Chain A
Amino acid sequence: MPGVTEIWNLVIMEPMLNLLVLLYNVLFSNFVLAIIGLTVLIRLLTFPLTQRQITSMKAMQNLQPEIQKLQKKYAKDREKLSAATMELYQQHGVNPMMGCLPMLVQMPIWIGLYQSIYQALGSTPEQFVVLSQRLYHSIPFMHDIAARSLPLNSRFLWLDLGRPDPWYVLPVLVVLVFWLQQKLTAQPAADPSQAQMTNTMQVMMPLMFGVITLQVSSGLAVYWVASGLLQIIQQGLTTGWGDVLKALPTGLPGLPRGEEAGKDGKAEKKRKKR
């Protein structure tokens, strides 16, 4: 009976790995383009989930003023507060679980993607021979593509995609993209301790990913940047670019001030109309 690892590899990792090699062949033997192509494909596949996640989070953000009112009203009665909050969610058709459920569903896909990028680069003989067991040799065109393409060209500009970025450009980009993502997805804080936690998260999470990027293949960092940017673009197209601009630090040349940017957002306009 196959173990969990075998099932995981068979269902998640190997299809992605083979798709990555196929995309490399189609996209001018450029591994960066292959990573971006696979990220776009997976984003398209998970689009319904991520879209529900974004709209749900936005709806939760819009309800925060009313939730704060309820928190003041039922400050001493947690049960009533909980019941009233749930009622408010029901009235507005918001499911609080929709914020994190799609993220949980996507987790295996992201991990599979990490693994396939890492495996495809095969930067040591150990990785390379294992790669031989993951490719679809029995499919004739895949066999031809693998023979033609491997080893994948891991050079791109100054990067060796199988090794960390020697010039620290990708770690900085990863921190910036993750920070912006955090700002966009953060829920308004209901109390000072929650605000403190949110602030800690907004700083620590991007920094942690930045530190990880210093140690891992720059191919993975390319994926993180591409995936993060696509998430930001999707968020901008769904909830309005005002939210994205509002999240940026004020005073950046060419950008409107935070408050002005917020006023331009679709959600802000809707709220004004109401």
Chain B
Amino acid sequence: MGKTTRKKSRQAILLVLLPLLLVLAAGCGSQAAMGWSSPTVDEGVLYAGLKTGRLYALDADTGDQLWAFPADRLLAGIYSSPVLREQVVYFGSYEIELSSFLIFQSQDIQGRAYAVDASSGAEKWHFPAGSSQETEPFMGTPATGDDLVYFTSSDGRVYALDIETGVERWSFESGDALWGGVVWRDGTVYVGSADKNMYALDGATGDTRWSFTAGGAIYSTPCLSGDLVYFGALDNKVYALDAESGEEVWTFSTQNWIWATPVEYENRLYAPSLDHTLYALDAASGTLVWDFEAVDMLAATPVITDGVVYITEHKRGVHALGAESGNVMWSYPEEGVLVVLAAPAVVDGRVYISGDDGKVYVLDAATGKLEWETAPGASE
């Protein structure tokens, strides 16, 4: 082959590769690792769904791995936070089934609800159990009530499953995807949908008790406190509704979407907005008390304990603020970038955060100093 021919062949290969490079440069060529599950601590064990594709149980003092689920494969993502009841961990998954035909490869995006033994990491059941039924990803944090566990799915349904067997008792179909979690109280299930409605359902039957239409899609898990139910929507508003009737009590407008759950603590509502601000409102009237302006978006639910608000900021780690004043007590890291999308867990004087880098960071809750960090599954 002559030099000219070889050169032209190389040029041809380069030209053929150009579109591929363009698509990759445009950020749509590959699927990055996903998930932003908040960790949970119970009886000295930290349960965290990490971006490495598994739910891990770690010793909350040392970070030693107790078990990982599933042991034999990786999940595409875990968005829901693990919920514990009677030594069983419940969480939902985002899974991608790959199938191939000759050179063709297709992705089938699914989700499963899992019940896992908290001491051994062994699966108790998963839903859907058979291969004939497929469900969309389970993104929201589940809730338990009576003898049922409630999961939300991207297919727009709330699934009420038998807590012992995982068998479906009822399902409720909303008009669009459900990405937020469910809250159960006194036999009523509260859930927000991307169809712009907040629903209150009978926990035993799935019948609608009331629904309220907001001005935008609802991805925020509701917060129930006293007589009110609080949530945010994509119309940039925080809503307070009467939990019994679903009637609007007050609204508060921000400059961008409300993604996270607003949290009530000692008559104040702490509402993070994607406009980079945490708003502290009077819980009864919705009047602004103070606000804290962050640099990046606040997409995670705050955790409030002992008069301190712990809030994660998209690329700036975690901040501890005085609940009364909004003053910053400490930030971790003090400088630089740490991407955190999930809410922290604060237990026994420690703050546990699940980073976007697949690591778990454990900080002293009083000072914000790093105690230890671990990256389970990083070597796999």
Which A residues lie at the B interface, using CB under 8 A?
A: 107, 110-111, 114-115, 118, 124-126, 128-129, 132-133, 137-138, 143, 146-148, 150-151, 163-164, 166, 168, 193-194, 196-197, 200-201, 204-205, 208-209, 211-212, 214-217, 220
* B26→A118 contact, CB < 8 A: yes
Asked, given contacts A125-B36, A215-B29, whether A197 binds B9 with beta carbons under 8 Å apart, the answer is: yes
Chain B residues whose C-beta falls within 8 Å of the C-beta of A216 in the assembled complex: 23, 28-29
Contact of A147 among B106, B235, B274, B299 (CB under 8 A): B235
Asked, given contacts A126-B36, A193-B4, whether A208 binds B234 with beta carbons under 8 Å apart, the answer is: no
List B98-122 residues whose CB lies under 8 Å from chain A. Answer: 103-109
Q: How far is the CA of A214 from the CA of B29 in the complex (A)?
A: 10
In the complex, B184 has a CB within 8 A of chain A: no
Contact of B79 among A114, A125, A211 (CB under 8 A): A125
Contact of A137 among B5, B25, B194, B256 (CB under 8 A): B256
- Can you spell out 6 A-B residue pairs with CB atoms less than 8 angstroms apart? A107-B22, A132-B257, A147-B234, A150-B234, A214-B106, A220-B28
Asked, given contacts A147-B236, A163-B109, whether A137 binds B255 with beta carbons under 8 Å apart, the answer is: yes
Chain A residues whose C-beta falls within 8 Å of the C-beta of B17 in the assembled complex: 208
Q: How far is the CA of A193 from the CA of B2 in the complex (A)?
A: 10
* A129→B5 contact, CB < 8 A: no
* B15→A201 contact, CB < 8 A: yes
Q: How far is the CA of A125 from the CA of B217 in the complex (A)?
A: 13
Q: How far is the CA of A143 from the CA of B257 in the complex (A)?
A: 10
Q: How far is the CA of A42 from the CA of B14 in the complex (A)?
A: 27
In the complex, B259 has a CB within 8 A of chain A: yes
* A201→B12 contact, CB < 8 A: yes
Identity of the chain B residue whose Cβ is nearest the Cβ of A112 in the assembled complex:
B26
B170 to nearest A CB, angstroms? Answer: 25
Contact of B25 among A111, A163, A196, A204 (CB under 8 A): A111
Contact of A201 among B5, B16, B215 (CB under 8 A): B16
Identity of the chain A residue whose Cβ is nearest the Cβ of B314 in the assembled complex:
A129
Which B residues lie at the A interface, using CB under 8 A?
A: 2, 4-5, 8-9, 11-12, 15-17, 19-20, 22-23, 25-30, 32, 34, 36, 77, 79, 94, 103-109, 139, 176-177, 179, 194, 215-217, 219, 233-236, 255-257, 259, 274-275, 297, 299, 314, 341
Chain A residues whose C-beta falls within 8 Å of the C-beta of B255 in the assembled complex: 137-138
Identity of the chain A residue whose Cβ is nearest the Cβ of B215 in the assembled complex:
A147
Contact of A132 among B27, B94, B259 (CB under 8 A): B259
B62 to nearest A CB, angstroms? Answer: 31
B274 to nearest A CB, angstroms? Answer: 4
* B16→A205 contact, CB < 8 A: yes
* B20→A212 contact, CB < 8 A: yes
Identity of the chain A residue whose Cβ is nearest the Cβ of B216 in the assembled complex:
A147
* B26→A111 contact, CB < 8 A: yes
Contact of A217 among B28, B217, B257 (CB under 8 A): B28
* A114→B28 contact, CB < 8 A: yes
Chain A residues whose C-beta falls within 8 Å of the C-beta of B257 in the assembled complex: 129, 132
Q: How far is the CA of A126 from the CA of B341 in the complex (A)?
A: 9
B324 to nearest A CB, angstroms? Answer: 29
* A143→B236 contact, CB < 8 A: yes
Chain B residues whose C-beta falls within 8 Å of the C-beta of A205 in the assembled complex: 15-16, 19
Chain A residues whose C-beta falls within 8 Å of the C-beta of B177 in the assembled complex: 151
B115 to nearest A CB, angstroms? Answer: 23
Q: How far is the CA of A194 from the CA of B12 in the complex (A)?
A: 10
Identity of the chain B residue whose Cβ is nearest the Cβ of A220 in the assembled complex:
B28
Q: How far is the CA of A102 from the CA of B236 in the complex (A)?
A: 42
